[in-house]
Structure 1
Amino acid sequence: MTFKQAVGKVHLWLGLASGLVVFIVSITGAIFTFQDDIRDLTEPWRKVEVQQTAPVLPSQLKAAALAHHPGASMRDAWVTYFAPDRSATVFFFDKANLPIQIYLNPYTGRVLYEQNLRTHFFTIIQEIHMHLLLPEAVAKWVVGISISIFVVMLLTGLVLWWPKRKQERKQRFTIKWGARWRRVNYDLHNVLGFYAASIGLVLALSGLFMIFPWMLESVRLVVDGGKAAPPEIMTTKIDTLQTVSAATQPLSDIVYRNVRRLSPSNEMILIAPDGTGKDPVYCWTYQKALHYYHRDEYAFHPVSGQLLESRFHANKSTGTKLSDMNYDLHTGQILGFGGKIVAFLGSLISASLPITGTVVWWGRRNKTKRQKQAAIPATAA
């Protein structure tokens, strides 16, 4: 068996083993790519008219959002300010443990819309994309192993695609649309697979980094020259035995005022729940709404509201910046709308590869069967 034949066997059997999962993950990823753009067109409550007055404080947003949900706790609610022309949201679980997101006018605190995320279309698509509707502990390995196999498939596919002779290269870059359908399918698998390989690798690897954070940490270590704990990694600890004065204002308001002052140019602010009083209250501010790469991070004391730790994007190491970039790379939005188009096409082609590859395998299998059957009478004669 030659090297290419061995690679072909690996490519075939790994593809058959992972094809269904790769198809589902890729097609749902393609659908999810433009979710913010689609929702902005179909959900008018996501936008508001910009006003000259300052936004209301988080405590007021939470009070308005939870007014009709007496079983929910204000301490467990997440508050997000997106941008001057976007509504703010309060996210929490109600007494029936349903994930509820309330959209409010950030300038008045008026409730604009209430959404049950469990039945929301894009939430379901995201859940299928990440977990295949399986328990998270199981899905982690099913999806993770399948995507790891897909990475191997892309690499072995490039080996199989590479032509032996220079004169063959031109035909490997084009699809013969006028040929028989089996040849067109073969070209779709090989040519599109070649063109989408680099995009597919970025999407697959960035997805694996979310599933297995140790992989992303390994990349960061390599980029940062092996530094295990750079100064900007927050490891805030709370001394629960230390007596501190309780805050005289709601913690979320203290957090909001501080981060507005420290990160004045950042559009989006995400304030985590106050929690139990034993862990820090975290907050993240982002330079641009709905983009998660350029961010500053804060930790506050859960009783006094004192700022305990902060790290700013400008001061982060190259490896940490690369790590922060991972989600926006995965969705393509690191390059704006054009990047989303690239990610969408890459996901769509990735979804097609298991289908066209299976058709190629099935055709060759049937051809081999027919050849064997045709050879039987000749042998008998």
Structure 2
Amino acid sequence: MTPFKKALLFCHRWLGFISGLVVFIVSITGCIFCFQDEIQDALYDHRHVVAQDKPYKKPSELLASVKRDFPKAISTDYIVYYGKDRPAGVFANMGKDGFEYVFLNPYTAQITYHEKPQTNFFVIVEYIHMYLLIPPPIGKWVVSIAVIIFMLIMVTGLILWWPKRKSDRKRSFTIKWGAKWRRVNYDLHNVLGFYATAVALILSISGLAIAFEAVSEFFYKAANGGTTYAWEKKEVHSDSLHTTLTAKQPVIDIALAHAQKVSPMAEMFLIHNDPTLSGAIGVGAYAKSYHYYRRDGWEFDKYSGKLLQTYMMDKKSAGLKLQEMNYDIHVGQILGLPGKIIAFLASLIAASLPITGFIIWLGKRNKKSKPGKGGPRRRAVAAA
């Protein structure tokens, strides 16, 4: 082995020791979270309603139901219509009591279920995935550093493993299932690691873009060839000098009606009711439920109902489109069910690599510690 590869092997091994446990936890939770929508749809009846041939209840009517049953709610920041055969949801801020996620029948405004988000299994899984159940400002950095190290490990592993001769490549790309278990473990580490590298790197980079605005902005500019479009980055504010103005109807109702009219084929509508004085009312129309890519958006003055900004999908820059598809890329659903399966398998392989790598290291360590044939006596004779 060349000095260069010896140095790479040293880095590969010790970086693996440093990041292995975190990589395992993050990868396993990523596996679980990939299919969280499908699993919850199968387990929970409150995620379904009978589709009806009539319009949704207005957002203001949904809020009235929530405020009636949860009078302590100090704000209702998000209202979501998930689809014709799905419930609506209201995210209510209960102050000292935390948050309450309330599900309602969108055709009747009747509350069908509610829960504290922190008690949902998949929210806990997501929290572990992002922060390891430690305070987010610290957990985010621990996870991100481990992910960056993992990316370096994947690249160094690929360089170390890549066969020199073309004749060796065919057998190097397959697992020798009939061999001894140590050889099978060696192949699982190297061969599966090779096949998962490209997808694992994409998942890692998209995860970093979710964690850090600076990473997301880098890809925004890269996709746009270094250009930043001012209208896409402009912060929209309501005119707080006009707090006494009153729209003819609640602005959240105006926002939903506008979105439904302009994007009638959208399956999901999300309304953001910014509780700050200068905040605007935002609404997004999503082409598919629980998918956050193809989105048209609008911002309204929260007092007058005036339309302040429009973000139509076909007008967005490549950078903004890339930013908005980042979550769908990270969980694999950008490619539908096949994409989720690929992301699941890549995450599962990533979780296995610290384990198979440790077994390889342990085997080599034990092998070196065992005396050769003849043992100490042979070495003593040789020394004499």
TM-score when scaled to structure 1? 0.95
Aligned: 1:102 with 2:102: yes
- Alpha-carbon shift at residue 373 of structure 1 (Å): 11
Q: 1:332 touches 1:342 (CA, 8 Å); kept in 2?
A: yes
Residue 96 of structure 1: how far off its partner (Å):
4.2
Asked whether 1:141 is paired with 2:141, we answer yes
AA in 1 matched with 2:65:
A
Give the Cα separation in 1 of the matches to 2:317 and 2:230: 8
Distance 1:328 1:243 in 2: 38
Give me the identity figure in percent: 46
Letter paired with 1:94 = M
Residue pair 2:23, 2:351 contacting (<8 A) in 1 also: yes
- Where does residue 329 of structure 2 map in the other structure? 329
**Which whole-Å CA distance do the structure 1 matches of 2:378 and 2:167 have between them?**
38
Give the conservation status (yes or no) of the 8 Å contact 1:234–1:310. no
- What's the secondary structure of 2:364's corresponding residue? helix
Query: For each residue in 1:284-337, what CA deviation from the matched residue of structure 2 results, as whole angstroms up to 9, or x when unmatched?
Result: 221111110101122111221211111111101112211211100111111111
Letter aligned with residue 78 of structure 2: W
- Give the Å deviation of 1:372: 8.4
Aligned residue in 1 for 2:59: 58
**Residue 24 of structure 2 corresponds to residue 45 of structure 1:** no
Q: Does 231-240 or 103-112 show the bigger shift?
A: 231-240
Q: Is the 8 A contact 1:277 1:303 kept in 2?
A: no
* 1:377, distance to aligned residue in structure 2 (A): 4.2
Structure 1, residues 38-58: CA drift from partner, whole Å, max 9, x if none? 111111121111111110001
Structure 1 residues 309 and 102: alpha-carbon distance in aligned structure 2, compared to 1, 3 A threshold = same
Look up the match of 1:379: 379
Number of residue equivalences: 380
- 1:348 partnered with 2:340: no
Q: Using the TM superposition, give the Cα deviation of residue 118 of structure 1 relative to its aligned residue in structure 2, in angstroms.
A: 1.3
Letter in 1 for 2:146: S
- TM-score, normalising length: structure 2: 0.94
> Which residue number in structure 2 is paired with residue 180 of structure 1?
180
Partner AA of 2:14 in structure 1: W
- Partner residue in 1 for 2:29: 28
Shift of residue 65, structure 1, vs aligned partner: 2.3
CA–CA separation in structure 1 for the residues paired with 2:286 and 2:234 = 17
Contact 1:275–1:281, Cα closer than 8 Å, also in 2: no
What's 1:121 paired with?
A: 121
- Relative to structure 1, is the Cα distance of residues 274 and 219 closer, same or farther in structure 2, using a 3 angstrom cutoff? closer
Alignment deviations for residues 18-68 of structure 1 (CA, whole Å, 9 cap, x no partner):
010110000000001111101111111211111111100011111212322
- The answer to whether the 8 A contact 2:238-2:300 is kept is no
Who is 2:194 aligned against?
A: 194
Deviation at 1:244, TM superposition (A): 6.5
Distance of 1:241 and 1:62 partners within structure 2 = 26
Aligned-partner residue type, residue 327 of structure 2: Y
In structure 1, what residue type is equivalent to 2:55? A
Q: What amino acid maps onto 1:232 in structure 2?
A: E
Task: Could you tell me which runs of 5 or more consecutive residues in structure 2 were left unpaired when the two chains were aligned.
Answer: none
Provide the residue aligned with 1:152 in structure 2: 152
Report whether the alignment pairs 1:305 with 2:305.
yes
In 1, distance between residues paired with 2:368 and 2:156?
23
Secondary structure in 2 matching 1:232: helix
CA distance in 2: counterparts of 1:66 and 1:155, whole angstroms: 53
Return the offset for 1:5.
1.5
Q: Give the match's secondary structure for 2:231.
A: coil
Cα drift, residue 94 of structure 1:
2.3
CA distance in 1 between partners of 2:165 and 2:159 (Å): 14
Deviation at 1:371, TM superposition (A): 4.5
Whether contact under 8 Å (2:151, 2:204) holds in the other structure is yes
| Number of the residue aligned with 1:294 | 294
Q: Is the 8 A contact 1:286 1:293 kept in 2?
A: yes
The Cα of 1:216 is off from its aligned counterpart by 2.0
Conserved in 2, the CA contact under 8 Å of 1:287 and 1:294? yes
Partners of 2:12 and 2:354 in 1: CA distance: 11
SS in 2 for 1:66: helix
Which residue does the alignment assign to 2:167?
A: 167
> What one-letter code is carried by the residue in structure 1 that aligns with 2:345?
L
Return closer, same or farther for 1:183/1:244 CA change in 2, 3 Å cut-off.
same
CA contact (8 A) 1:33 1:343 kept: yes
- Give the stretch that moved more between structures: 244-253 or 359-368: 244-253
Q: Is the 8 A contact 1:234 1:311 kept in 2?
A: no
Name the stretch that deviates more: 109-118 or 11-20. 109-118
Aligned position for 1:320: 320
Structure 2 CA distance for partners of 1:85 and 1:373, relative to 1, 3 Å: same
Please say which of residues 56-65 and 17-26 is displaced more in the overlay: 56-65
Report if the CA contact (8 A) 1:47-1:85 is conserved.
yes
Distance in 1, Cα, partners of 2:131 & 2:373: 44
Instruction: Give the C-alpha shift of residue 91 in structure 1.
Output: 1.2
Quick one: distance in 2 between partners of 1:374 and 1:113?
74
Q: Equivalents in 2 of 1:38, 1:351: separation in Å?
A: 21
1:219 is aligned to: 219
> 1:234 touches 1:309 (CA, 8 Å); kept in 2?
no
Measured in 2, the distance between the counterparts of 1:228 and 1:323 equals 13
Distance 1:71 1:105 in 2: 22
One-letter amino acid matched to 1:329: I
